[in-house]
Amino acid sequence: MTRTKIAAILHNPTLNQQILVKAWVRTKRGNKNVNFIALNDGSTIENIQVVAESSLFSDESLKDVTTGACIAVKGTLKASQGAGQSVELEAESIEILGKADPETYPLQPKKHSLEFLREIAHLRPRSSTFSAVFRIRHQLSYAVHTFFHQKGFSYIHTPIITASDAEGAGEMFQVTTLDLNKIPKDEAGKIDFKNDFFGRQANLTVSGQLEGELFAMALGEIYTFGPTFRAENSNTARHLAEFWMIEPEMAFYELPENMALAEEFLKYLISYILENCKADLDFLAKRFEEEEKNKKQEERAEMGLLEKLEFVRSNDFVKLTYTEAIEILKDSKPNKKGQFKYPIEKWGSDLQSEHERFLVEKHFKKPVILYNYPKEIKAFYMKQNPDNTTVAAMDVLFPGIGEIIGGSQREENLEKLSHRIKEVGIEEHALWWYLDTRKFGACPHSGFGLGFERLMLFITGMSNIRDVIPFPRTPQNADF
């Protein structure tokens, strides 16, 4: 007999038929006549209720049916008399596939803190919250590919190991096979990478953008979706050392089209989850509501989770320049009252998450796209505006998150680009292949990077980025 998944049973029940279910025990309760076993196999947030009559199953035969154990149940599906479920499985035989010692199984059926669950990250996907989060993570990945596929973008696998450290030196993880106890040095006392695996210094990528641009100059519209590594020591609830980023890159797009694509993309993804993950989302919305109750009045979100997602998908994002944003921030209450950790004094300062969140959550109460940033605070490859002081950059800012997307139109002019590369002190020869695209058939083009886990935070209502990736990597932590 083949097993039937619980999702299929509950969504399309065929009563009075014999079926086989294989799943993990969530709870067992009962009296001297009957035992009720709640089973979950991960195919849905919902459990199926198994009814085991004492006339068929002795206490002894059910002693290993404990929370966390894996069992196979053969039985007949019946309409349920009890409240809370419409069908139940009347057990005829129960086989124990894997016991879970109740003395040591850590995931007991009670409320555990997220901190504790992080310590048992190998078991936490068996909890309702994390199973919901990770089913949504799958659906969201699928939606990313569907969106771009429907638009004719090609998915490009950019390298994970890279020898270019163009984006942000100092934030990269090194990749080496050198014996760290005997590091070879050259005459000048510097590390000699000649005998290292690649014959040169290599790192884990911080972005697939530069390689993505090369393919946009050939296939037109491409995207990457892969792991990204940053050795920045920022121990925040929004930063991981290993995260997943989606980076579309489009030939012939200028900044306004880039912004429009970012907005359409985010709305599509949110819609997709609203329409395809109802049960999981409802569960997370309830959880979010409970969490909010524990917060102080002034810290509570203005909307529930579903309401917030609905709101974002059905409202236009505010578009405004960096310069306009600085004016608003300068005149804002928290700035005048000295409530910002980094006060806004003059044009040119980098915006911190507190400023981004003020604009989005307090001032506009809508997602905001800021564009035309000072060139000094942005990367070398961004298109220089005619004013000579700003670049055609854009950041999408979301409530509760701050920056969720960073992007720009790229500088396609060879002279301007080389000039900027020298100015910021990058060695031009290291980027010869990148500069070649500006020599041969250059064209206006644009792209952006969406942090996948930041969007996951927004959609699931979870508050720490460590709880939306299966096994988080953060400073001092690479367990599991």
Interatomic CA distance for residues 305 and 29, integer angstroms: 33
CB of 316 to ligand ATP, least distance (A): 20
Strand 174-175 versus strand 221-229 pairing type: unpaired
Contact status, residue 389 vs residue 406, Cβ threshold 8 Å = no
3 state SS of 473: coil
- State which of residues 26, 230, 410, 438 lies at the interface with ligand ATP (CB under 6 A): 230
SS (H, E, C) 159-211: CCEECCCCCCCCCCCEECCCCCCCCCECCCCCECHHHCCCCCCEEECCCCHHH
Q: Which CB sits closer to ligand ATP, 91 or 450?
A: 450
Q: Taking the complex as a whole, how short is the minimal distance between the CB of residue 182 and ligand ATP, in angstroms?
A: 33
Measured from the CB of residue 249, what is the shortest distance to ligand ATP in angstroms? 13
- Closest C-alpha to 153, from 265, 250, 260: 250
Compare residues 412 and 453 and give the one whose CB is closer to ligand ATP.
453
**Helix 432-439 with 209-219: angle, nearest 10 deg:** 30
Among 45, 245, 255, 261, binds ligand ATP (CB under 6 A): 245
Exactly one of 225, 243, 272, 373 binds ligand ATP (CB under 6 A); that residue is 243
Residue 222: CB minimum distance to ligand ATP, A: 17
The answer to whether 78 and 88 have CB atoms below 8 angstroms apart is yes
Q: Which of 413/474 has CB closer to ligand ATP?
A: 474
Nearest approach in angstroms of CB 319 to ligand ATP is: 17
Q: What are the residues whose beta carbons fall under 8 Å from the beta carbon of 19, sequence distance 6 or more?
A: 1, 4, 9, 74, 75, 76, 77, 89
Judged by beta carbon, residue 45 or residue 368, the one nearer ligand ATP is 368
Measured from the CB of residue 240, what is the shortest distance to ligand ATP in angstroms? 4
A 10 A CB-CB count for 191 gives: 14
283 vs 381, which CB is nearer to ligand ATP?
Answer: 381
Which one among 124, 135, 137, 239 touches ligand ATP, defined by CB under 6 A?
A: 239
CB 71 within 8 A of CB 82: no
Q: Which is nearer to ligand ATP, 10 or 396 (CB)?
A: 396
Binding mask 392-431 for ligand ATP (x = CB under 6 A): -----------xxxx-------------------------
Q: Give the residue with the Cβ less far from ligand ATP, 449 or 461.
A: 449
Distance CA 16, CA 22 (A): 19
CB of 401 to ligand ATP, least distance (A): 8
- Residue 357 engages ligand ATP in binding (rule: CB under 6 A): no
Cα 186-191-193 angle, rounded to 5 deg? 95
Q: Which position among 52, 216, 240, 397 is part of the footprint of ligand ATP (CB under 6 A)?
A: 240
Q: How far is CA 432 from the centre of its chain?
A: 33
State which residue, 10 or 360, has the beta carbon closest to ligand ATP. Answer: 360
Q: In the complex with ligand ATP, which residue's Cβ is closer, 196 or 247?
A: 247
Q: Residue 205 CB, nearest distance to ligand ATP (Å)?
A: 12
- Between 153 and 244, name the residue whose CB sits nearer to ligand ATP: 244
User: CA 331 to CA 273: how far, in whole Å?
Assistant: 38
Roughly what angle, to the nearest 10 degrees, separates helices 305-314 and 278-293?
120
Distance of closest approach, residue 156 Cβ to ligand ATP, in angstroms: 17
Cα–Cα distance between 133 and 135 in angstroms, integer?
Answer: 6
Torsion of CA 447, 174, 375, 330, to 10 degrees: 100
Question: Which is closer to ligand ATP, CB of 100 or CB of 468?
Answer: 468
Report which secondary-structure segment, H or E, holds 326: helix 322-330
Q: Which residue, among 363, 413, 420, has the nearest Cα to 389 in the 3D structure? A: 420
**For the chain, what is the radius of gyration of the CA atoms?**
27
**How many residues interact with ligand ATP (rule CB under 6 A)?**
13
Which of 158-166, 235-243, 299-307, 365-373 is the region at the interface with ligand ATP (rule: CB under 6 A)?
A: 235-243
Contacts with ligand ATP in 434-473 (CB under 6 A)? 449, 451, 453-454
For residue 319, how many other CB atoms are within 10 A of its CB? 16
CB of 407 to ligand ATP, least distance (A): 7
**Which residues sit at the interface with ligand ATP, rule CB under 6 A?**
230, 239-240, 243, 245, 403-406, 449, 451, 453-454
